[in-house]
Amino acid sequence: VVGNSLGGRLALELAMHDPEAVAKLVLLCPSPAFRRFRQLVPLVKLLPVDVARLPTAPVPRPVVMAGVKAMFADPNRVPQSWFDAAVDEFEIAMSSGAHRRAALSALFNIYTEEAFGDTGFWGRLPNLRTPALFLWGSEDRLVPAGFARHVSEAMPTAESVVIPHCGHVPQLELPALTMQLVREFLNSERTPSAQASTEYDLALG
């Protein structure tokens, strides 16, 4: 199972809930549980998620465009038409109250979920036995590559690669390198017990 961002988190949850259903995992900048700034969680839990159903003024297109481009270390690596299409899709999706509520609910749950303890994300992660490859962007502004260290501590048998000069969507920004790393992992014969307990940082050679 391959997933990027929140999709990567869903892939992780699937493997943790039903290990037999997943042979291998490829996680591209997956969304983990917040480890810091958790002092605001009790306050955030008081916010009504249903407020997202209320009509809102559209976000100015330049603001959305800046947000999309911020997911890339170098936006010039992809055609402008890709960004235009992404902004169009965002505007269409956010015009729906149901979609706004779903998006806000996802963000709400990621921040307010239990991070530690037996039921928390970081408490459950060490129990994952599915062979996994984590790819991180060294310049990811959404999911900092610093999470790679915490994942490696929780899952020493997983492979963790920090891709230099890359943002939050390596499959779009550096597709050839991303595909190379994914293919090498999927074609390997390693088992969870035999996987290398290493973390590669290509930015440092």
The closest of 159, 163, 160, 161 to 172, measured between CA atoms, is: 163
Consecutive sets of 10 residues in the chain, 205 residues long: mean pLDDT of each?
A: 93 92 96 62 56 64 95 96 95 81 73 71 88 96 91 91 96 96 88 42 42
CA distance 29 to 23: 19
Which sign does the torsion angle of CA 21, 26, 29, 33 carry?
A: positive
**DSSP bridge pairs for 162:** 136, 201
3-state secondary structure of 59: coil
Phi/psi for 35 (5° steps) reads: -100, -25
- Phi/psi of residue 49, each to 5°? -65, -30
Would you say the C-alpha torsion 169, 170, 171, 173 has a positive or negative sign?
positive
Residues in Cβ contact with 16 at an 8 Å cutoff, skipping those fewer than 6 apart: 124, 125, 127, 128
Report the alpha-carbon angle 73-76-82, nearest 5. 100
Question: What count of other Cβ atoms lies within 10 Å of the Cβ of residue 118?
Answer: 8
User: What pLDDT is stored for residue 196 in this prediction?
Assistant: 40
Q: Which CATH superfamily is domain 2-33+113-204 in?
A: Alpha/Beta hydrolase fold, catalytic domain (3.40.50.1820)
Q: What local confidence, expressed as pLDDT, does residue 58 receive? A: 78
DSSP H helices, 129-203, are: 147-154, 170-173, 175-187
pLDDT at position 199: 42
The rounded distance, in Å, linking the Cα atoms of 59 and 91 is 8
Task: Provide the whole-model pTM.
Answer: 0.80
Q: For residues 13 and 29, what is the distance between their CA atoms, to the nearest angstrom?
A: 15
Instruction: Enter the DSSP assignment of 57.
Output: P
Q: What is the pLDDT of residue 195?
A: 42
Domain range list for the chain: 2-33+113-204
pLDDT at 100: 75
